[in-house]
Amino acid sequence: MSTNDTVNYANIPVHIGFIMDGNGRWAKARNLLRTQGHNAGVEALEKIVRHCRDIGVRCVTFYVFSTENWLRPKAEVDHLMNLFSSYMDKIIKEINSGKMKTFKDSSIRFIGDMSAFSDDFQEKLKYIEEKTAENGNEFIVNLAVNYGGRAEIIHAVNEFINANPNKLITETDISEKLYTGGLPDPDLIIRTAGESRLSNFLLWQASYSEIYITPVCWPDFTPDELAKAIIDYNKRTRKFGGLVE
Ligand code: IPE
Ligand code: IPE
Ligand code: MG
């Protein structure tokens, strides 16, 4: 990237997916606990959400916790769940006081298998979805929690078969039954911390997504780093299997 490169605001991705990786490595490099890395990750997420809305991205999907992340040591899983739960309480307080900050004018949705959570907690998540849906669809924030791309596809297929036992399923049927049904596929998927893999993120939806991988760990991922990703995206030729003159 030359220093003169700037974001082309006429070609901003409509939907960006974020694989927020590297909280642990970020903490380790600073002699901090992994849990502190996750706390710092929340702050990075807040800045990126606001920035995406400001520059005209219409939809963002953050990979918060995968179906495989339960494999981590119990103390880390507990910390992540407590962090998520207390953050949701904070959002509910903001909603009830009419003073939304980070998620102002956003429609928040949870994608993943929420049945892993207690009924009370699922009610809280539903409340957040319903209340923020009143903000309209200008800016949609998907939080992928207990999310796995394979589990999502299986869920979609089963939903369809249950409703239509004698029909053959089509691509459109699956797309509509996914947790992201009705939303456009991500134009850009950003993975921080350098690994070149999807780790079960948006497997169906990523079929023609542009992928950007940065060595920067998630807590250090700033709006400037996002600008670099979008500038890179602006230079891509999307062909979707066809030919582009
Ligand atoms: C991403 O950071 C956060 C979650 C997966 C919940 P990691 O915790 O995976 O950080 P690294 O990969 O160990 O550095
Ligand atoms: C992907 O990161 C999951 C999230 C960011 C929530 P992981 O750290 O779990 O992925 P792997 O294990 O390196 O593939
Ligand atoms: Mg990781």
Task: Read off the pLDDT of each residue in 40-64 and give the average, rounded to a whole number.
Answer: 98
The sign of the dihedral angle between the CA atoms of 25, 75, 86, 141 is positive
Whether 202 lines ligand 2, by a CB cut-off of 6 Å, is no
- Cα–Cα distance between 68 and 189 in angstroms, integer? 20
Q: Which atom of ligand 2 is nearest to the CA of 65?
A: 6
Indicate the pLDDT class of residue 2, thresholds 50, 70 and 90: low
Task: Report the predicted TM-score, pTM, of the whole model to 2 decimal places.
Answer: 0.98
What domains lie within the chain, and their CATH numbers? 12-147+186-234 (3.40.1180.10)
In this predicted structure, what is the pLDDT of residue 245? 79
The answer on pLDDT for 3 being more than 60 is: no
Q: Do residues 20 and 41 lie in contact, with contact meaning Cβ atoms separated by under 8 Å?
A: yes
Give the CA angle between residues 174, 236, 203 to the nearest 5°.
Answer: 25
pLDDT digits (tens, 9 = 90+) for 193-237: 999 999 999 999 999 999 999 999 999 999 999 999 999 999 999
What is the reported pLDDT for 108? 98
pLDDT computed for residue 56 by the predictor: 98
Q: What are phi and psi of 134, to 5 degrees?
A: -65, -15
Residue of minimum CA distance from atom 10 in ligand 2: 199
